[in-house]
Structures are given as structure tokens and as C-alpha cells.
């Protein structure tokens, strides 16, 4: 049965049933932003997220990999309930996030932690660490002051901000980048959520600190049975972090696979290009040129017809790729590629 | 020997005066660079690598408290030149700079073609038409379409703006270009494309590069030799072929082990502790506090030791 939404004239897609073990289900999600001229009349849409499907199971870690402007941040903000989906659903434990009221969202936000990209920008500069970590507890309804302090100390020990007493009264500017990011992680963890969304959590940090924070996140994920969405542009960190990897290009997921399978047998030409472009430290790199597709990702206002990668694709099939949008093909068990090569 | 070396930096010192004391950003740096070679200066943020670039090109802020040493360019110590002579004969003529976040360093109200042509008009005394023709040639070298010459910076993507900044450094055909974090703000594929451009320039025009970066993996794309910087000093220099498989200094080893690899199954490690503040530097080896191999001797400042043609500042190699 199909219905039209009265306001947006869009098709209402019925919510699909999910099985017990699925924590988060993204169903045919579209997030479009209106482009207006002089504040009136809609002249087009930025199709930031355009038909994304996936499921996140309990205590599973997934990574969404893509370049800037591919829509990964819009996808994340929709999952967090900050943007309303234009079409499709975000289902968390059988609750539709876009239909949640005030109470529902408050509950949802206690279940989902968010680790921002820039720790210094994410921490309020005039609050000390204790106050920063206390805020979610106050909003979450923990009335007892001693209980709050106990939980703050516990979470600070978990993110290894030692000695805890010394850090309680510090302000963000007194901390190093790595310590700031630990405070951000502590804040995301303090309400004991089921899921953490991390948006490029280490891209602003130095190389030696980066690994430390990644290991900390991975450790927390394992010890608390957290589900994890890790959003990044850096393929080389993904393999230490997640089981599943989703490659995003121009608003769509072009390849979904377990990490080992994707590294061994990458299938979408875009994934292949990303893997080729990622360097390992090797002196031989200086002697060879890399084969990378020319050009830039397309505008999301007028994305190319058909496959969105076809103008840059070295293996484009004439009269097919530029005409028809490729559906998802299952090429091996658990490996899904949206590319006509695997028809 | 003396003819072969393009740049020879000896005991270069650059300190800044602050209310807390002198910041020893560059503290006795030595390295050299041959024609048509690229040296990578590797280091974490706050180790003084950008200050080193500024010291070489004499682009100094006002609060400098000490600036000394030798910068020999083709055998001539350019530190002895007066400010005006340096500007006319060295900066941009013999060596130029692609600054950090170069794509945001373009003037937003001038067409990119005019900006690229400007150094040629000022330093080479060219007429505007000729300079624009030369700019067009430079655009070809960095693979920017010719019709972009009349565009404004906001009409270009980040990668294209970065290429324009490289074209601007290239137009006076200097023998040396200093690149300060040229790709750190760019996407993966764009980054790979820019490195292809740099490699081609090196091959076709014979330019030398000083590449300043914190990204070890991508630095290997251009490096002929490597210098690792820690707390204002260079702790290790060596050929890229020898450095990347087996770094010598404990800091370089730790740094190399912290790089996540795509193609090797190796668990990355991290370095405990933090780099020291450049204001009150500890006596002795500056890495000693974080070093797993520390012994009594490390309380004294290590001198430079030669190991198979590589130089390392660590008592382990005495």
C-alpha cells in the first residue's frame, strides 16, 4: 500500500520490520536541503543523502568512509535527530526517530553519544571539566550531587584522564588536544549510551595521539558492548576499528562489506581509487605516479544522471552507467556493490 | 662538492620572545639539500617545523629574540644579505613558499591569473601580458584548465586553489620550493593528484623541494631524504630508502610505529606523554622523558653521531 504525504507530496514508505538484534535501522533515507532564491520559491535541492539503507546490530562497529561533501555528516546528523529526513526512516530499537516528541528525543539522546571532530570547538570554554560532564547528568535527571560526582569520576577513569582529581577543575584551554578529546568522549559516555556516533574523532590530533584515542574508543566499545558508527575519510584507521565498512560517494553508499573482504577484494571503482590513493610509508612511493581518477566529486544539486561516479570512472560502460542508476548487487555473501560491473 | 649542494643550513636558530621566556622554536638546525631532490621535515605540531620554513625564507614575525646561523644557497650565505637585497634576489627568485593552508592564502578579490602573474611582474620585471602568458604555462604544469585564469578564488575548489598556489610559487622558476603542509586540508584523491603534480614538476623542471608535514605516510610520496624534528631540533636525517624501513632515533621509531597501515597487518603503537614546552626545555636529550631506551647518559645533550651515512642525535649510537 502506498500513500502520499499531504504536506510534502512524497511517497510514504512503510516502515520495514527489523529483527531483534538490530539496534538502528536506516531505511531508504533521503535528506534534501532546499535551495531558495531571495528567501522565496524553492529553486532546487542539495541532495546530501539520497537513498541510504543499512542496519546496525547490537555491539557492532561500522565505519562510513567518504570524502568531504559526500553527505556523511548530514547522514550522521540525521541519525542523531538533528535533521529531519526528507524521506525514509531512522528506526532506533523499533522507535522512529523523526516521530519522537520532546520526551522521546530526550530518551533517545541518553541512548546515543556523539563524539565531535574538533574537541576544542565542542567543549564550552567557560566551564570546567566537572561542569561539562555534569550537564548531561543534570538533564538526564540524576538529582543526587554525590551520585553525579561518583559517575563523573568513574567515566574519567574510563577514558584515562589520570589523576582524576586534578582534571576536575581544569578548563578546556588548559588541556592538550588528546585530553580534550578524552573529555568529549567522557561526555558522550557518561549516560551509558547503547550507541556512539563519532565524526572524524582523530583527524584534528597528532599522529602519536591519534592511535591512543582510537585504541581507547575501541576498548570502550568492547567493554561496554557499544554499537559504534565511525565516520572518517581515512581508510588506514578503519581496519583497526570496525567490522563493517560503508563507502559513501555523492549521497549514496556505493559499497558495503566486512572490512577484510573490502581490503582484499575491493569492487566499486571508487573504493579502488580510495585504496590506491592511501599511502603507506614506503620510499618506493616517490618513484611512481598514482593512478587516481581526475576531477572532483559532483555537485549534489545536479548530480550526474545514472551512476554518480560515471564521469570519473575508468571502467564506465557506455549506454548504461550514464543512463541508469545502478541498484545494489550482492557479489559475495555480505558484500554489496552498487555498480553495473557486477550485474 | 660545494657546487652540488643547493641549500646548506647550519646551526640555524630562531627564538621568539614571550612574557614567559624565549620560545626556542628552531634551535640549532643543520641539514642540506642537493639539486633536484626533496627533503621531508617530519614532526608533530609544535615542534617548530613551520618556524623552520619561515627562518629559511626570512619571513619573521615581530617578536623574534634570536635569529642566527647560516643559510647557504649555492655556496653563498644569504643570512648576511640586507633585507632589500634578500627580497630582490632570494625570496621568490631563488626559493619560494607554498604556505600552510595555501588555498586560503589567495586574495579573494583578485583573479587567480593576476595573482599567479604578479611575482613574475615584480621579480622578473615582465610586462603584464607576458606574465599572464607565463602564468598560463604554469597552469599547464599544475594541471589547471586554461580558462580558470580569469576566475576568482571562490569559484575554484580546494584542490584547484592549492594548485594555483603551487603555480604562484613556480612562476619565477626558483630552484627551491618550500611546501608547508601542502595537502593536509585536502581530500584523499585530491591529495594523490597534487602529489602527482609535484612529482611531475620535480621530474620535468628539476625543482628541489622542502616538504614540511606531520603525515609520514604521504610524505614518502615525494621524499629523497628525511629529517625528523623534535622540540626545535633535528634528531635524525637520512636517505628515504634507509629511513622508511628502519628509522634509527627512538622518537622516529615510535613515530613510524604509530602510523596505521593499510597494507600490512601491524598493530599501531602510541607514544606516551607529550612533547616538552619550547619555553623551558629540559637539559639533556629532549626526548628522554618519553624514551623507552633512556639511560644515565641521556641527562647530557646528545651530539650527532654518524651511522652509515645517516645522522642521529641519540646516545644509543655513540
Per-residue pLDDT of chain B (318 residues), as tens digits, is 445 789 999 999 999 998 888 999 999 999 999 999 999 999 888 888 889 999 999 999 889 999 999 999 988 899 999 999 999 889 999 999 998 887 788 999 999 999 999 999 999 999 999 999 999 999 988 888 888 999 999 888 888 898 999 999 999 999 999 999 888 777 888 888 889 999 999 999 999 999 999 889 899 999 999 999 999 999 999 999 999 999 999 999 999 998 888 887 778 888 888 888 888 888 889 999 889 999 898 999 998 999 988 999 999 998
Cell numbers that stand for B54 in this block: 619561515
| B268 has a chain A CB within 8 A of its CB | yes
Q: What is the mean pLDDT of chain A?
A: 88
Q: Give domain limits for chain B.
A: 5-94+175-317, 103-173
Burial of A131 from C-beta contacts in 10 A (0-12 / 13-18 / 19+): middle
- What confidence score (pLDDT) does residue B1 get? 43
- What confidence score (pLDDT) does residue A272 get? 92
- What confidence score (pLDDT) does residue A176 get? 87
Task: Name the maximum alpha-carbon separation found in chain A.
Answer: 69
More confident residue, A144 or A239: A144
Compute the nearest-CA separation of A200 from chain B (Å).
13
Q: How many CB pairs under 8 A join A and B?
A: 119
Q: How far apart are CA B254 and CA A210, in angstroms?
A: 13
More confident residue, A10 or B85: B85
A19 band by pLDDT with thresholds 50, 70 and 90? confident
**Phi, psi at residue B57, to the nearest 5°?**
-95, 5
Distances (CA, A) of A65 to A216, A323, B97, B253: 20, 26, 33, 29
Q: Tell me whether residues A279 and B271 touch, CB distance under 8 A.
A: no
Q: Tell me whether residues A67 and B188 touch, CB distance under 8 A.
A: yes
Q: Tell me whether residues B189 and A273 touch, CB distance under 8 A.
A: yes
Q: How far apart are CA A210 and CA A177, in angstroms?
A: 10
- What confidence score (pLDDT) does residue B310 get? 93
Burial of B8 from C-beta contacts in 10 A (0-12 / 13-18 / 19+): middle
Q: Tell me whether residues B190 and A296 touch, CB distance under 8 A.
A: yes
| B273 has a chain A CB within 8 A of its CB | no
When the candidates are 3.40.50.10880, 3.40.50.2300, 3.40.190.10, 3.40.50.300, the CATH number that belongs to B5-94+175-317 is 3.40.50.300
- What confidence score (pLDDT) does residue B221 get? 92
Q: What is the mean pLDDT of residues A285-296?
A: 85
- What confidence score (pLDDT) does residue A69 get? 80
Q: Ramachandran region of residue A319, left (φ > 0), alpha (ψ -120 to 50) or beta?
A: left
Q: Tell me whether residues A207 and B259 touch, CB distance under 8 A.
A: yes
Q: Tell me whether residues B157 and A296 touch, CB distance under 8 A.
A: yes
Helix axes B188-205, B158-170, angle to 10 degrees: 20
Q: Pick from B203, B262, B267 the residue to mutate for testing the A interface (most A CBs within 10 Å).
A: B262
* End-to-end Cα distance, chain B: 27
Compute the nearest-CA separation of A290 from chain B (Å).
7
- What confidence score (pLDDT) does residue B3 get? 55
Of B188, B221, B254, the CB nearest to A285: B221
Of A239, A282, A292, the CB nearest to B192: A292
The answer to whether the Cα torsion of A178, B159, B142, B73 is positive or negative is negative
Cell numbers that stand for A335 in this block: 558484500
Amino acid at each position: 500500500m502506498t500513500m502520499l504525504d499531504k504536506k510534502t507530496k512524497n511517497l510514504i514508505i512503510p516502515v520495514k520490520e527489523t529483527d531483534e538484534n538490530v539496534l538502528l535501522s536506516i531505511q531508504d533515507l533521503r535528506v534534501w536541503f532546499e535551495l531558495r532564491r531571495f528567501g522565496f520559491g524553492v529553486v532546487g535541492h542539495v541532495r546530501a543523502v539520497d537513498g541510504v539503507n543499512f542496519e546496525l546490530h547490537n555491539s557492532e562497529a561500522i565505519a562510513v568512509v567518504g570524502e568531504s561533501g559526500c553527505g556523511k555528516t548530514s547522514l550522521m546528523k540525521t541519525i542523531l535527530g538533528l535533521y529531519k529526513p526528507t524521506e525514509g526512516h531512522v528506526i532506533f530499537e523499533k522507535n522512529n526517530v523523526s516521530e519522537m516528541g520532546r520526551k522521546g528525543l530526550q530518551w533517545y539522546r541518553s541512548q546515543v553519544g556523539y563524539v565531535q571532530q574538533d574537541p576544542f570547538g565542542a567543549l564550552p570554554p567557560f566551564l570546567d571539566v566537572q561542569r561539562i560532564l555534569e550537564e548531561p547528568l543534570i538533564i538526564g535527571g540524576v538529582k543526587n550531587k554525590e551520585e553525579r560526582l561518583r559517575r563523573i569520576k568513574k567515566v574519567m577513569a574510563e577514558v584515562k584522564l589520570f589523576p582524576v582529581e586534578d582534571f576536575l577543575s581544569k578548563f578546556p584551554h588548559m588541556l592538550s588536544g588528546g585530553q580534550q578529546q578524552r573529555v568529549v568522549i567522557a561526555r558522550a559516555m557518561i549516560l551509558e549510551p547503547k550507541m556512539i556516533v563519532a565524526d572524524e574523532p582523530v583527524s584534528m590530533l597528532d599522529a602519536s595521539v591519534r592511535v591512543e584515542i582510537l585504541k581507547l574508543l575501541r576498548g570502550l566499545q568492547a567493554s561496554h558492548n557499544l554499537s559504534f558508527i565511525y565516520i572518517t575519510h581515512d581508510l588506514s584507521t578503519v581496519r583497526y576499528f570496525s567490522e563493517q565498512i560503508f563507502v559513501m560517494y555523492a549521497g549514496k553508499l556505493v559499497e558495503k562489506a566486512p572490512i577484510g573482504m573490502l581490503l582484499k577484494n575491493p569492487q566499486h571503482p571508487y573504493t579502488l581509487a580510495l585504496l590506491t590513493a592511501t599511502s603507506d610509508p614506503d620510499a618506493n612511493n616517490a618513484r611512481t605516479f598514482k593512478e587516481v581518477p581526475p576531477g572532483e566529486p559532483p555537485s549534489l544539486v545536479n548530480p550526474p544522471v545514472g551512476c554518480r561516479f560515471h564521469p570519473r570512472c575508468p571502467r564506465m560502460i557506455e549506454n548504461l552507467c550514464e543512463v541508469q542508476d545502478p541498484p545494489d548487487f550482492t557479489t559475495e555473501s555480505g558484500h554489496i556493490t552498487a555498480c553495473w560491473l557486477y550485474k | 662538492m660545494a657546487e652540488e649542494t643547493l641549500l646548506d643550513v647550519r646551526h640555524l636558530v630562531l627564538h621568539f620572545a614571550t612574557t614567559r621566556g624565549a620560545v626556542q622554536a628552531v634551535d640549532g638546525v643543520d641539514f642540506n639539500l642537493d639539486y633536484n631532490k626533496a627533503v621531508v621535515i617530519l614532526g608533530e605540531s609544535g615542534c617548530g617545523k613551520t618556524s623552520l620554513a619561515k627562518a629559511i625564507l626570512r619571513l619573521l614575525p615581530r617578536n623574534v629574540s634570536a635569529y642566527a646561523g647560516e643559510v647557504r644557497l649555492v655556496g653563498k650565505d644569504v643570512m648576511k644579505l640586507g633585507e632589500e637585497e634578500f627580497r630582490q634576489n632570494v625570496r621568490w627568485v631563488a626559493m619560494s613558499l607554498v604556505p600552510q593552508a595555501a588555498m586560503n592564502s589567495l586574495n579573494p578579490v583578485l583573479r587567480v591569473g593576476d595573482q599567479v602573474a604578479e611575482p613574475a611582474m615584480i621579480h622578473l620585471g615582465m610586462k603584464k601580458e607576458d606574465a599572464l602568458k607565463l602564468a598560463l604555462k604554469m597552469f599547464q604544469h599544475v594541471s589547471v584548465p586554461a580558462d580558470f585564469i580569469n576566475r576568482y578564488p571562490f569559484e575554484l575548489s580546494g584542490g584547484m586553489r592549492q594548485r594555483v598556489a603551487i603555480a604562484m610559487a613556480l612562476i619565477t622558476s626558483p630552484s627551491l620550493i618550500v611546501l608547508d603542509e601542502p595537502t593536509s586540508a585536502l581530500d584523499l584523491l585530491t591529495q594523490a593528484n597534487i602529489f602527482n603534480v609535484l612529482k611531475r614538476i620535480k621530474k620535468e623542471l628539476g625543482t628541489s623541494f622542502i616538504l614540511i608535514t606531520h603525515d609520514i605516510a604521504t610524505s614518502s610520496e615525494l621524499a629523497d631524504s628525511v629529517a625528523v624534528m623534535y622540540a626545535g631540533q633535528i634528531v635524525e636525517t637520512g636517505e628515504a630508502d634507509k629511513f622508511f624501513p628502519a628509522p634509527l632515533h627512538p622518537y622516529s621509531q615510535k613515530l613510524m610505529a604509530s602510523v596505521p597501515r593499510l597494507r600490512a597487518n601491524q598493530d599501531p603503537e602510541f607514544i606516551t606523554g607529550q612533547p616538552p614546552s619550547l619555553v623551558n626545555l629540559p637539559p639533556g636529550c629532549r626526548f628522554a622523558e618519553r624514551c623507552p631506551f633512556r639511560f644515565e647518559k641521556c641527562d647530557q645533550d646528545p651530539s650527532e653521531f654518524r651511522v652509515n651515512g645517516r645522522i642521529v642525535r641519540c646516545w644509543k649510537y655513540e
